[in-house]
Amino acid sequence: MSAEEQAKAYAQANFETAHSSYPKLFATKFPRRSGRGCVLDLGCGPCDVTLRFAKANPGYTLHAVDGSAAMLKYGRRALARHPGLPRRFRLVAGFVPGAPIPRRSYHVILSSSFLHHLHDPQVLWQTVRKYARRETIVFVPDLRRPSSRAKAEAMTQKYSGNEPEVLKRDFFNSLLAAFTPAEVRRQLKQADLPGMAVEIISDRHLLVFGRT
């Protein structure tokens, strides 16, 4: 999603229902987590989810990575609206694998709605393995593919019917490109990430979570 039109539509879209639930779900899944640490956010987009995690977890610093300069532009604008937060953030431009990620390992690895953009899902899972340490928390919410094209069309109308055409098109294509829970479990097995669980969290989302 590197085009300015796509980035602008995504940054201005209303993802409140899904995105506001992620920090709460994170707290529920990891009640005994440390209150301090460094978070790696892979595929951060315009940083809406990253910002929500930062506000919910004031002891975290965050390194947010994305390959789209347009998305990071909107991420910087969003950060500027929250005085005090920019000092806890570092935005990193680059594609994975190969992005200049600042640390060798992280306490938390987050990736929201990035998996379905990848032609090879192992790009994400091998990056998780590379930057995890013992007991790193992994939290990966993403879309899950509906059982038919007709259901994808109905979901697109239900959840993005009032959004710009570019966003409706991208959401529909993302639903079709997303993985099923069974497919994600096979990916995790191939990646040798046995500590991860896969859970359906809505009619259109799944969650991968666990500790390495």
What local confidence, expressed as pLDDT, does residue 187 receive? 98
Per-residue pLDDT of the chain (212 residues; tens, 9 = 90+): 556 667 666 656 667 778 899 999 999 999 999 999 999 999 999 999 999 999 999 999 999 999 999 899 989 999 999 888 888 999 999 999 999 999 999 999 999 999 999 999 999 999 999 999 999 999 999 999 999 999 999 999 999 877 888 888 989 999 999 999 999 999 999 999 999 999 999 999 999 999 99
Residue ranges per structural domain of the chain: 4-211
Q: What are 166's two structure tokens?
A: 């570019």
For the CA atoms of 195, 212, 193, 205, the dihedral, rounded to the nearest 10 degrees, stands at 70
pTM score, whole prediction: 0.92
Asked if 175 and 188 touch (Cβ cutoff 8 Å), the reply is no
Residues linked to residue 63 through DSSP beta bridges, in sequence order? 40, 90
Contacts of 110 (CB under 8 A, 6+ apart): 39, 40, 41, 42, 49, 50, 53, 139, 140
Q: What is the CATH number of domain 4-211?
A: 3.40.50.150
